[in-house]
Amino acid sequence: ELKVEQNPLFLSMQEGKNYTIYCNYSTTSDRLYWYRQDPGKSLESLFVLLSNGAVKQEGRLMASLDTKARLSTLHITAAVHDLSATYFCAIYGGATNKLIFGTGTLLAVQP
Amino acid sequence: NAGVTQTPKFQVLKTGQSMTLQCAQDMNHNSMYWYRQDPGMGLRLIYYSASEGTTDKGEVPNGYNVSRLNKREFSLRLESAAPSQTSVYFCASSEPGMSNQPQHFGDGTRLSIL
């Protein structure tokens, strides 16, 4: 069974602090996606990671992919309140572009 | 830039009623998808259409039907709504073969079944 597990499920952090969200998956996949969702809103694509060792950065967020360990990380540097949202990782589960999503990490950045 | 458009945005139904959720995309994508989102469970794939004229079941297809009307439009139908189908429904589209491009999502339909 294809599984994508994220941890933590909930993260409360103070502004200015650093933290990492982890995404583990159970099957080989060469594509991993990170999305952000604000409350009551749609999913916004953050990063597309396509190969082992891929690292992408946008502002205070940096994502990496280790396909051998079946692990992706989303690192938050010097968090600000605007980063408060739910973050999802997703992998392709096989043919026809089917995405398998993690359960999400709810990030709350406190002033 | 419209992207993926879903209608309606909100709907309340009574148990046993039927309705169709509409989705249209203007990005000329071949593949389209319907997901449901429930608290603590992420997004789960209901049905997908890899290309015009084809549809396939996803992870949770029971109680739903779909129609790929043309390349732009992909609808989801609840024939006899049940309270367990209360959820937020998202439509998405993508272009197969372009692995560096993510799936694009609509704004969602919030459906309550009483």
User: B52-86 pLDDT, tens per residue?
Assistant: 999 999 989 999 999 999 999 999 999 999 999 99
Which pLDDT does position A34 carry in this prediction?
Answer: 97
Per the CB < 8 Å rule, is B31 touching A96?
yes
Percent of chain B surpassing pLDDT 90: 83
pLDDT at A24 over 70: yes
Per the CB < 8 Å rule, is A96 touching B50?
yes
Across B104-110, average pLDDT: 96
- Which residues are CB-contacts of B59 (< 8 A; sequence separation ≥ 6)? B44, B45, B46
pLDDT at A95 over 70: no
Which pLDDT does position A11 carry in this prediction?
Answer: 93
Peptide bond preceding B8: is omega within 30 degrees of 0, i.e. cis?
Answer: yes
Q: How many CB atoms lie within 10 A of CB B33?
A: 27
Question: Could you tell me if A4 and A102 are in contact, meaning their C-beta atoms sit under 8 angstroms apart?
Answer: yes
Interface of B with A in 52-111 (CB under 8 A): 56, 58, 90, 94, 96, 99-108
Which pLDDT does position A29 carry in this prediction?
Answer: 79
Per the CB < 8 Å rule, is B103 touching A97?
yes
Question: Could you tell me if B78 and B85 are in contact, meaning their C-beta atoms sit under 8 angstroms apart?
Answer: yes
Which pLDDT does position A97 carry in this prediction?
Answer: 60
How many CA atoms are closer than 13 Å to the CA of B20, on its beta-carbon side? 10
What is the rounded (10 degree) CA torsion for B2, B6, B10, B11?
Answer: 160
| Cα gap B95→B101, rounded to integer Å | 8
pLDDT, tens only, B5-25? 999 999 999 999 999 999 999
Which pLDDT does position B19 carry in this prediction?
Answer: 96
Which pLDDT does position A99 carry in this prediction?
Answer: 87
Paired tokens of B19: 């309705």
